[in-house]
Amino acid sequence: MPPGLGSVGPGCPKPPPEPNRSRPRSKGTRGAGFTLIELLVVIAIIAILIGLLVPAVQQVRESASRSSCQNNLKQIGVGLHNYHTAFKRLPNARGQNPTIFTVEMGWTYTIFPYMEQDNLKKLFDSNFNAAVSQPIQVLQCPSDPRTGTTGSGTFSGGSTTAGLTWYVGVTGSEGRYPDPTNAQNFGIFQVNLVRGIRLTDIQDGSSNTLMVGERPPAPDASWGWWAFSDVDNLLATQDFNTGVVVGLVPSSCPSPGIYKQGDTSNFCDMSHFWSLHKGGGNWLFGDGSVRSIPYSAANLTIPLATRSGSEVVDASSF
């Protein structure tokens, strides 16, 4: 084969070796892995992301709880209006025993057949103790970790286990026991009426009159029971029970109790409307609508609580 055509013969120089394509690692070059500083940076970034994510999750959860709470009030409103359709009146505040203070079979019990709880009413009529101990989902605010639990106390000389309610009827703009003394301050759930009011009795307009509001049960769940009336599921937007009902509201509590933020560990907060939602609570109005009122508009709950007070209320404030 002629020289220069790829053969290596005598006297021909060897072709140069192929270059080494692998680059040797120079001194100081790092291998795979993280340094401590990089690891700390990654941890810091993860912590920031978690810090941003957790409040967002909590906000979504609270939004869902508030929506569920509003839906509960809407169902209660449907029950009250269905009752009115059947009897041409709303139930009286104390239900089956209008002249007896804090007695069983209050207004909540009365509307069960009109809010798809007829079986519970039948159980109540046949087995009182079994019925009153039932936690009723539509009466519980999901923002409170105590939902699904029961309270206990003494009734008729014996121990009673009772289901709780987070929703109480509005008796008016002022009350004690919680009966208002001035007719101008009467609300939809006026106490001591033998028969409940008619929607046409709401001269201030049903869309401008509070019917049911939020107030969690007592810290020890000794009251705030759905099966009873008065201090259990009735309240005025200005409550003067402080120190009057022994064992319920301590005499050291501010008086009157008005709409403001409360705490599930404070007995004083049983004397005013409040909720576990941030910034305010949900209210059911006489027309069946549900609206949220911020604590900053607390003063509006006073004129809104009367059914014939002739007050002018600026609804744009909430």
How confident is the model over 176-201, as pLDDT tens digits? Answer: 766 666 788 999 999 888 899 999 99
The answer to whether residue 45 sits within a structural domain is no
pLDDT of residue 7: 47
Residue 86: domain span: 53-317
Residue 60 CA neighbour count, 13 Å, CB half: 5
pLDDT of residue 30: 47
Q: Report which secondary-structure segment, H or E, holds 152.
A: strand 150-155
pLDDT of residue 295: 96
The answer to whether residue 57 sits within a structural domain is yes
Q: Residue ranges of the chain with pLDDT lower than 50? A: 1-9, 21-30, 246
- Nearest alpha carbon to residue 188 among 178, 199, 177, 179: 199
pLDDT of residue 28: 47
The answer to whether residue 155 sits within a structural domain is yes
CA angle 262, 252, 244 (to 5 degrees): 95
pLDDT of residue 306: 95
The answer to whether residue 113 sits within a structural domain is yes
pLDDT of residue 80: 97
| Residues 6 or more apart whose Cβ sits within 8 Å of residue 112 | 79, 118, 120, 121, 124
Number of domains in the chain: 1
pLDDT of residue 4: 47
Distance in angstroms (rounded) separating the CA atoms of residues 45 and 47: 5
Rounded to two decimals, the pTM is 0.79
pLDDT of residue 78: 96
The answer to whether residue 61 sits within a structural domain is yes
